[in-house]
Amino acid sequence: MALSQALLDEIGLLSRFSLQSVQTGLKIHHDAAPALVAAAERLYQKGLVSQPDGGYLTELGRETAEHIQLALTILTSEPALS
């Protein structure tokens, strides 16, 4: 499966959300990079965030962000020596 730039932008945005509190959100300003604005809109359309400009993670969005952040942690960690 090839990862499009649009999908990478969505993954990048989801990786920015803090999972420490459900009351921590993100606000994507209208003058942000167009790719970031578009990624936030797509995440909203998919039901992962509460607002077209970011907002808070929905329940599905939080679960998705948890998986993405765990995968990124695993993939960017030092390999274990065996």
Q: Where are the domains of the chain?
A: 5-75
pLDDT of residue 58: 96
pLDDT in tens, 1-41: 899 999 999 999 999 999 998 788 999 998 999 999 999 99
- pTM comes to 0.87
Percent of the chain topping pLDDT 90: 83
Q: Which residues pair with 57 in a beta bridge?
A: 49
Question: What is the average per-residue pLDDT within 44-71?
Answer: 96
| CB atoms near residue 48 (< 10 Å) | 22
Q: Give mean pLDDT, residues 59-80.
A: 93
CA angle 47, 60, 16 (to 5 degrees): 85
pLDDT at 61: 97
